[in-house]
């Protein structure tokens, strides 16, 4: 039997194409939610963009019917905007009846009462809405279609045991993939330990056909060398020009940003493998949006780009203090360095607001704090990729590192991209597990 799904505003912002996901059921949008979308349409960044996309999708549907009466969807369900059924008398004393949440709850309660033979479910990503709806005896569910189980998020590597002879063969052209319980995807890494010779081990990668040795194990980028096994795996993916999408997850201080930035500087400025570096931050403001900051695009973005500035400053110290480089550290600031290459079109700093409609060819694009993106935005980001370009998504998908109210640890764009992109030859993922920033950072990550 078809279900009445009441759609909260935050669901529409989370996935602007939500209407095509509910199969043969009835979608009901309270008119108040449309009003909320209207008030959000001019917001900078993710929220405003998604509000405008929802409006465009609804406009397209209106060509096939009347939203007040219900429009049939391609999947067999229907969608309508609910103009009535806002009986505030169904809510108990103590609720603030002026709040938008209360009005949406009143609509849900009224529809539940008016259609007792039909199951009514409120779909919302708001925790407080969830609590209130549950207290009112309503059925409420999170948006279910892009959630990834945290315990099953792909790590990108595993540990196995093989004979010493098999380990040696890895360096002589590789070996066939052994029979394993887990499913193995292209560019999956193995930490292989010998089962017949102590202290004999190797890091290796499955190239889609066989297990082979790492190509970039002894290399460095901009003076930086990976310092643990997971960093070596990530470095391998970052350096390989045949890998066009790399995702790296890990906690604060695990090396995501500095590794990615080092490889970008090496491959763009040093070896000219790509024409430019594009640093991207999906701006999610804790206070005012980016549009309220003074200045032009680069001035507005600078407060959000601190991680890249810090990475370049630290890499400069590493590079010019490295015995392998006989360079004297130049007498200029990180700002001078970035501005010099920005003026030449070699370094760009962007937020998604300024990326729409663009195509990046022969570019290396690093998207930091990718856990702040919705799955819809992650897809749109990757569709910016032109020929000979490489996208790198980095971030920490844990709930305590997400400031965007429209995503969580199970439904953000970073974990969504990891899971959807893992089966392909031109993609790779590694989860970094060790904090290398400092002993204090390591202690804080474990203890607090």
The predicted-structure confidence for 220-233, as pLDDT tens digits, reads as follows 999 899 999 999 99
DSSP string, 385-422: B-TT-EEEEEE--SGGG---TT--TTTSHHHHHHHHHT
pLDDT in tens, 80-99: 999 988 899 999 999 999 99
How much of the chain is helix, strand and coil, in % rounded to 5?
Answer: 40, 20, 45
pLDDT in tens, 383-434: 999 999 999 999 999 888 888 888 899 999 999 999 999 999 999 999 998 8
Is the pLDDT higher at 400 or at 166?
A: 166
What's the pLDDT at 441? Answer: 64
**Range in 41-50, 104-113, 201-210, 380-389 with the lowest mean pLDDT:** 41-50
For the stretch 58-74, what's the b/e string if a residue is b when 16 or more beta carbons lie within 10 angstroms of its beta carbon? Answer: beebeeeeebeebbebe
Query: What is the share, in percent, of the chain residues with pLDDT greater than 70?
Result: 88
Cα separation values, 71 from 16, 27, 132, 197, 365, Å: 17, 10, 30, 68, 40
pLDDT higher than 80, residue 330: no
pLDDT higher than 70, residue 326: no
- d(CA 274, CA 123) in angstroms, rounded, equals 44
pLDDT in tens, 175-208: 999 999 899 999 999 999 999 988 899 999 999 9
User: What number of other Cβ atoms are within 10 A of residue 104's Cβ?
Assistant: 27
- d(CA 354, CA 281) in angstroms, rounded, equals 11
Q: Domains along the chain?
A: 4-141 (3.40.50.1010), 219-447 (3.40.50.300)
Give the pLDDT band of residue 442 (cuts 50, 70, 90).
Answer: low
- What one-character DSSP code corresponds to residue 293? S
- d(CA 448, CA 445) in angstroms, rounded, equals 6
**Range in 290-304, 332-346, 432-446 with the lowest mean pLDDT:** 290-304
What's the pLDDT at 279? Answer: 92
Q: Which residue has the tokens 């844990």?
A: 398
pLDDT in tens, 296-312: 656 666 656 778 888 88
What's the pLDDT at 191? Answer: 97
pLDDT in tens, 260-291: 999 999 999 999 999 999 999 876 543 334 44
Mean predicted lDDT score pLDDT of the chain: 89
What's the token pair of residue 345? 């079109």
Task: Work out whether strand 139-141 and strand 26-30 pair parallel, antiparallel, or are unpaired.
Answer: unpaired
What's the pLDDT at 12? Answer: 96
Give the pLDDT band of residue 339 (cuts 50, 70, 90).
Answer: confident
What's the pLDDT at 290? Answer: 43
Q: Are 432 and 422 in contact (CB under 8 A)?
A: no
Q: From edge to edge, which strands make up the β-sheet containing 71-72?
A: 71-72, 78-82, 26-30, 4-7, 120-123, 139-141
Residue of 421, 435, 433, 445 whose CA lies nearest to 158: 433
Give the pLDDT band of residue 54 (cuts 50, 70, 90).
Answer: very high
Helix (H) / strand (E) containing 27: strand 26-30
pLDDT higher than 90, residue 435: no
Q: Are 241 and 364 in contact (CB under 8 A)?
A: no
- d(CA 249, CA 255) in angstroms, rounded, equals 10
What's the pLDDT at 301? Answer: 63
- d(CA 31, CA 149) in angstroms, rounded, equals 33
Q: Is 298 strand, coil or helix?
A: helix
What's the pLDDT at 289? Answer: 45
Q: Are 51 and 41 in contact (CB under 8 A)?
A: yes
What's the pLDDT at 293? Answer: 47
């Amino acid at each position: 039997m078809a279900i009445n799904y009441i759609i909260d505003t935050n669901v529409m912002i989370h996935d602007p194409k939500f209407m095509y996901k509910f199969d043969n059921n009835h979608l009901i949008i309270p008119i108040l939610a449309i009003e909320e979308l209207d008030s959000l349409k001019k917001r900078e960044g993710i929220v405003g963009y998604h509000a405008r996309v929802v409006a465009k999708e609804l406009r397209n549907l209106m060509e096939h019917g009347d939203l007040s009466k219900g429009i049939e969807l391609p999947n067999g369900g229907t969608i309508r905007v609910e103009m009535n059924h806002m009986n505030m008398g169904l809510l108990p004393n103590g609720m603030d009846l002026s709040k938008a949440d209360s009005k949406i709850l009143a609509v849900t309660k009224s529809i539940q009462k008016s259609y007792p033979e039909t199951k009514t479910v409120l779909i919302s990503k708001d925790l407080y809405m969830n609590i209130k709806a549950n207290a009112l005896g309503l059925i409420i569910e999170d948006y279910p279609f892009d959630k990834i189980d945290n315990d099953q998020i792909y790590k990108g590597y595993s540990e196995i045991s093989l004979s010493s002879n098999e380990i040696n063969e890895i360096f002589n052209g590789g070996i066939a993939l052994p029979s394993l319980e887990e499913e193995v995807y292209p560019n999956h890494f193995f930490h292989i330990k010998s089962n017949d010779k102590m202290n004999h081990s190797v890091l290796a990668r499955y190239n889609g056909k066989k297990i082979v040795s790492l190509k970039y194990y002894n290399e460095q980028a901009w003076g930086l060398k990976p310092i643990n096994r997971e960093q070596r795996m990530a470095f391998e993916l970052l350096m390989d020009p045949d890998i066009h999408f790399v995702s790296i997850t890990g906690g604060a201080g695990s090396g995501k940003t500095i590794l990615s930035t080092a490889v970008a500087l090496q491959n763009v400025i040093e070896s000219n493998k790509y024409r430019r570096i594009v640093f991207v931050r999906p701006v999610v403001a804790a206070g005012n949006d980016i549009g309220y900051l003074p200045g032009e695009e680069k001035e507005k973005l600078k407060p959000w780009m601190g991680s890249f500035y810090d990475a370049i400053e630290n890499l400069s110290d590493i590079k010019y203090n490295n015995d392998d480089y006989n360079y004297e550290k130049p007498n200029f600031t990180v700002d001078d360095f970035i501005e010099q290459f920005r003026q030449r079109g070699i370094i760009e700093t962007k937020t998604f607001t300024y990326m729409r409609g663009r195509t990046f060819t022969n570019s290396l694009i690093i998207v930091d704090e990718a856990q702040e993106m919705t799955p819809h935005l992650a897809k749109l980001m990757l569709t910016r990729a032109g020929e000979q370009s490489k996208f790198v998504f980095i971030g920490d998908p844990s709930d305590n590192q997400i400031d965007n109210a429209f995503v969580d640890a199970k439904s953000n764009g970073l974990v969504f991209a990891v899971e959807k992109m893992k089966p392909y030859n031109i993609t790779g993922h590694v989860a970094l597990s060790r904090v290398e920033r400092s002993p204090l950072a390591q202690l804080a990550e474990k203890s607090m």
